[in-house]
Amino acid sequence: MKSARKQGFTLVELLVVIGILGILSAALFPAIGNAMLRANMTSVATRGKDIYVAIVGANTEREPLGLGPVWPRATLGESDANDPITGNMSTSSQYFEILMDIPNMSNPSSWAPYVNGLDPSKLAGSGVKVSPSTASSLDRQYNMWTIAGDILDETEDIVPLLATRNFDDSNFIRTGSQQPNATRINEWYKQDATYRQPFFNKGFVMVRKGGATISLTARYTSQAIIYGGQSVNLGSPGLTYLIP
């Protein structure tokens, strides 16, 4: 009587299976990585759009009250002790801290933000942590947004209002009248480790003054694409971009 053959993989068969899995993984990883990047950029763009909508809503609320808009100011206007949002800002973190009234967020009886529906989670994402709920101020490590200061009603809608902090804001058009350069910006991202998240040198997200969001990967970083190929007239003194 013949004995039953023992079932199982031989070493050669196992190595073949491992080799096939390795080849499939190598082929799929770039696609998976690109899909994850796109998903994260979409999520961040949604947060940016939420910030934009909240600011526009606050401006609409203030207009019939005879109050100025809550766009951040860097060089224009005078500070009003009774309305801190009208004062000049030095960083986007300072602006968001006042906009959301973060110092009073943990005390419902005294919390009075300029915007409704926003919280520090809108400033975080894709590697940038959310500010602790007990924080009395906004640390820049919890804020991924650069924002344009001194936006005016007549500022063209194509101008970037918000951009993820990994983008080097010095590449934006700031003043005068210019035709955007079509040459790809080779060093468009910040080298400073503080600003590497989100996305570092893979891409960035921005929200234009008109409310449109755009997510750009490293291949498509030129002023012509950023400004939709349109000439830009910012006059004088132009814009100041407030980094975290």
What per-residue confidence (pLDDT) applies to 86? 87
Between residues 185 and 21, the one the model is more confident about: 185
In a domain, 12, yes or no: no
CA dist 205 and 41 (Å) reads 7
pLDDT digits (tens, 9 = 90+) for 210-239: 999 999 999 999 999 999 999 999 998 899
Q: Which of 43, 204, 53, 69 is nearest to 118 (CA)?
A: 53
pLDDT digits (tens, 9 = 90+) for 74-125: 987 777 778 889 889 999 999 999 999 999 998 989 999 999 889 999 999 9
Q: Model confidence at 16, in pLDDT bands (50, 70, 90)?
A: low
What per-residue confidence (pLDDT) applies to 221? 94
pLDDT digits (tens, 9 = 90+) for 157-215: 999 999 999 999 999 999 999 999 999 999 999 999 999 999 999 999 999 999 999 99
In a domain, 115, yes or no: yes
In a domain, 230, yes or no: yes
In a domain, 1, yes or no: no
Segments forming the whole domain that contains residue 196: 18-242
Q: φ and ψ at 102, to 5 degrees?
A: -60, -40
What per-residue confidence (pLDDT) applies to 4? 53
In a domain, 4, yes or no: no
Q: Which of 188, 189, 208 is nearest to 198 (CA)?
A: 189
In a domain, 189, yes or no: yes
Please, are residues 100 and 53 in contact by the beta-carbon 8 Å criterion?
no
Q: Model confidence at 30, in pLDDT bands (50, 70, 90)?
A: low
Dihedral, CA of residue 53, residue 57, residue 60 and residue 65, to nearest 10: -150
Q: Which of 31, 32, 38, 36 is nearest to 205 (CA)?
A: 38
In a domain, 164, yes or no: yes
pLDDT digits (tens, 9 = 90+) for 33-49: 678 899 999 999 999 99
Query: What is the value of pTM for the model shown?
Result: 0.86
In a domain, 177, yes or no: yes
162, amino acid identity: L
Q: Is 66 exposed, middle or buried (0-12, 13-18, 19+ CB in 10 A)?
A: exposed
Q: Which two tokens stand for residue 99?
A: 């906009």
Tally of structural domains, the chain = 1
Mean pLDDT over 7-24 rounds to: 68
